[in-house]
Structure 1
Amino acid sequence: MSVERLRETRRIGGRRIVLREARRTDAAAIAALFSRIYKGKYPLEFGNNVAVLKSEIADPSRAMWLVAQDAAGRGLVGAILFLCDAQNRMCKVLGGVVLPEYRRGGLGTTLLKRGLRFMTRQARVADVLYGTTRTVSEGPSKMVAEAGFHKLGIFPNAVQIEELEHLNLDVYLTDRALRLRRRTPYLYAPFASIYDIARRQLGLERAHVVTQRDPLKLTKKKIMLSYDGDPARAAALFGRYSEQKRISNSFFPFHSPNAVLSAQDGGADVFLWNGGVGKQTMILGFRSDYASHHDLLDAVALAVQNSGAAYVELLVDAYDYVIQQEAYTAKYIPSAYFPAMRLAGDGHRDDYFVVSRTFRIIDFTSAYVTRESLPYLRSYMRSYEALYIEPLKRGDAR
């Protein structure tokens, strides 16, 4: 890279630290940081692949790796990645890593704050930033809180490192994002609880809750799906249907399909991103000829569970109570609320729910849950009981 967009020296934890944008020649050193901390178990590809790191560093319009270097000549001691979505004026923050002996003095927080300021005030490419934090200790949650992020949800069993872990959703909203936010979501009633938590946190308006909806019920005859794990074929089919405007529920930034589930009767194709050593699945959109989609979403969950996944996730429009009801009927639980996530064509920013299903035991006994996250966890568990326990009490479980 010919010009560094960011470079400065600070004294942090008693040491002189250079904060700068990474160069392609830093890729191996960044990979070494991940190797030392995660010992090859980091769940995303850049944590183990120097070629991926080099490609990200080489594309400053899409990504910025911000690194911390010991000015005494001891090499890189920390790094963090900011992925950019120019269309939605959004950044995803991930890959934060700092050597243990350099954590005193808040180097991780400094990296995060400096990158955030660059994206929102200097480059001015983002109105919204978000990331997820682990719940194995207090440190990650403390770091994002000090940078001004809000905890807006929790995802049980969302990632596997040593073992399955839960993640928090952390969102940073600029004043501009909140000004442009589209007001008054339309909610299917079971989604109101999690919205109200976010509303109280951020001072949002009350939503319109739709209660007069005929109930949906999963059919006993399941949709049969065939799996194709070829990323090139999945991407090509997704692109073709997108050009034909035949993809529904297709907003999922920073992910591209690497697999597709196709209904054996030809009625649907569901596009997936599989990651996290095969334990995570994201539904990126679907082409469907079915009148409603609750049976399809249920079939997807069963298919990815049978493939070994522990967790599946879907983004749901906060103004579309129909897809909310379909997802809930398919036992996807409202897990997080993301205000002002998507920049729409009319200039407003739209809110989204994150809904998820997990196929493993939910155990929070060793997790660090913040005061901000606890209401979301309680809301999640109430929905879990309503969907998975109450039917047994009524005797109508399938």
Structure 2
Amino acid sequence: MTATIEQATPADVADLRQLYYAVYGPHYPTALGTDPAEMSRLIQDPHTLWLVARCARTGALAGSAAVHGEPGSRIGRLEGLAVHPDQRGSGLAGQLTEALCARTLGAGKLDSVYATVRTVSAGPQRVVARNGFRPMGILPNAVDLDSRESLALYARHSPGVLDRRVPVAEVPASLAPLLRTVEGSLGISYAETRPTVPRPAPAGAAQAPLEIVEAPAFVRRRFHERFPEPGRWFYPLHTPNILLTPDDGGFEVYAYLNRTGRYCALVTAHPDPAFAAGWLESVTRTLTRAGAGYVEALVPLEHHTALSAFGAQGFIAGALYPAMRRDDDGFHDYVVMSRTTEHIDFHGVVVDPPLQPFLDSYVSAWASTYLPSREVAS
């Protein structure tokens, strides 16, 4: 099929909604393909590049994809990649992906672009891989569509970015297999990073109740009052919409909860993220009661204590994003720590060979965390 690729306009919203319904059915978990007002806003957002593919003969909408960024950040998210079922196998997905990368990474506007890719088939993984994206890890049970699905994390960097990573001296030993896997995937080295024993978990009132505030506009305002400078927090493209706090208001945990997909991202805490580390068990229980089947946190690789605290509460490092955050002329690596309260079933997961080592690494880490060690009596 011969297609014309161009920027989406607000006039395309109705056709775009029909496209996403044709591809994903009624369970697409993001506003990008379901909420007309939000779609129109994103199309006109100067930090979002949304492209559509049209049949050159009929003008019918055949494909869509976007790279979404935010002010002050040089990282983007590839999202909404969809090709009409009648046009699958036409190469449109790859054309859209490459066009987006050429106009963002290739133009020097972004340092990296990431994508969370479905694992119900190898097709989506191969599309992004053919366009320069490389696997970074696995996110088990990350989203609820027709059923609970695992996603794969892929990313593509601008030239030279990976060479400017800030070295990390030590990490908890449980992260060593993931680091080795990333080395093999990206050809980068963590030879100078020592695996060491986890730090002691901070004391906290793990069973104490937490109140949850679900008032998105209020939470957003309070978040920006608490954190006027993004240097004290970092979770790209996630604006918190809920707040958790104990009865005495001693601290506040900010999170983004997606009820449709039943997943949650922990963004940060006030007055200091470390202060809330001892409450992780209570935080997770509260979020589970609020409907989150999957909770994740983005933790700097150099924050040994925070990584240890999350590990002590059953969070597992499923993905590593090298050179994710720019800091002056260097870049910091981040770990995706996740915990799911639902049964993980990998029987339906399909992984392309480059992603398989990440799945193996996660399964090994999960077993080390949740299965009791056996003593052999002689």
TM-score, normalisation: structure 2: 0.93
Task: State whether structure 2 residue 312 is matched by structure 1 residue 329.
Answer: yes
C-alpha distance in structure 2 between counterparts of 1:184 and 1:268, whole Å: 29
Unaligned runs of 5+ in 1: 1-14
Task: State whether structure 2 residue 89 is matched by structure 1 residue 104.
Answer: yes
* Percent pairwise identity: 28
Q: 1:216: how far off?
A: 2.7
SS across alignment from 1:39: helix
Give the one of 340, 353, 361 matched to 2:343. 361
Contact preservation (8 Å) 2:76, 2:112: yes
SS across alignment from 1:222: coil
Give the one of 153, 158, 174 matched to 1:174. 158
Post-superposition Cα deviations, 1:17-36, rounded to whole Å, max 9, x if no partner, equal 11111112112211111122
Post-superposition Cα deviations, 1:39-83, rounded to whole Å, max 9, x if no partner, equal 221000121111111111112x21011000011124111000111
Task: State whether structure 2 residue 20 is matched by structure 1 residue 34.
Answer: yes
Equivalent AA in structure 2 for residue 96 of structure 1: L
SS across alignment from 1:373: helix
C-alpha distance in structure 2 between counterparts of 1:291 and 1:141, whole Å: 36
Give the one of 203, 213, 216 matched to 2:187. 203
Relative distance call for 1:32 and 1:207 in structure 2 (3 A) is: farther
Relative distance call for 1:74 and 1:290 in structure 2 (3 A) is: closer
Equivalent AA in structure 1 for residue 238 of structure 2: H
Residue aligning to 2:223? 238
SS across alignment from 1:309: coil
Give the one of 335, 352, 358 matched to 1:376. 358
Residue aligning to 1:94? 79
Contact preservation (8 Å) 1:294, 1:330: no
SS across alignment from 1:132: strand
Contact preservation (8 Å) 1:155, 1:335: yes
Relative distance call for 1:212 and 1:385 in structure 2 (3 A) is: closer
Equivalent AA in structure 2 for residue 313 of structure 1: E
Contact preservation (8 Å) 1:109, 1:143: yes
Aligned residues: 374
Alignment of 1:124-163 (within 5 A): 124-163=108-147
Residue aligning to 1:48? 34
Q: 1:290: how far off?
A: 8.7
SS across alignment from 2:104: helix
Equivalent AA in structure 1 for residue 92 of structure 2: L
Unaligned runs of 5+ in 2: none
Relative distance call for 1:214 and 1:323 in structure 2 (3 A) is: closer
Task: State whether structure 2 residue 273 is matched by structure 1 residue 287.
Answer: no
Q: Which moved more, 1:284-293 or 1:133-142?
A: 284-293
Alignment of 1:280-319 (within 5 A): 280-288=263-271, 292-319=275-302
Equivalent AA in structure 2 for residue 167 of structure 1: L
Relative distance call for 1:217 and 1:182 in structure 2 (3 A) is: closer
Post-superposition Cα deviations, 1:220-243, rounded to whole Å, max 9, x if no partner, equal 752321011110121122111113
Give the one of 242, 246, 255 matched to 1:272. 255
Relative distance call for 1:213 and 1:387 in structure 2 (3 A) is: closer
Contact preservation (8 Å) 2:51, 2:64: yes
Relative distance call for 1:185 and 1:136 in structure 2 (3 A) is: farther
Task: State whether structure 2 residue 328 is matched by structure 1 residue 342.
Answer: no
SS across alignment from 2:161: helix
Give the one of 165, 175, 200 matched to 1:191. 175
Relative distance call for 1:297 and 1:26 in structure 2 (3 A) is: same
Q: Which moved more, 1:128-137 or 1:283-292?
A: 283-292
Residue aligning to 2:243? 260
Post-superposition Cα deviations, 1:74-106, rounded to whole Å, max 9, x if no partner, equal 411100011124533221101001011112231
Contact preservation (8 Å) 1:279, 1:309: yes
Q: 1:213: how far off?
A: 5.1
SS across alignment from 2:57: coil
C-alpha distance in structure 2 between counterparts of 1:97 and 1:283, whole Å: 28
Contact preservation (8 Å) 1:154, 1:166: yes
Relative distance call for 1:217 and 1:173 in structure 2 (3 A) is: same
SS across alignment from 2:3: strand
Relative distance call for 1:323 and 1:37 in structure 2 (3 A) is: same
Contact preservation (8 Å) 2:243, 2:255: yes
RMSD across aligned C-alpha pairs, in angstroms?
Answer: 2.1
TM-score, normalisation: structure 1: 0.88
Post-superposition Cα deviations, 1:4-23, rounded to whole Å, max 9, x if no partner, equal xxxxxxxxxxx221111111
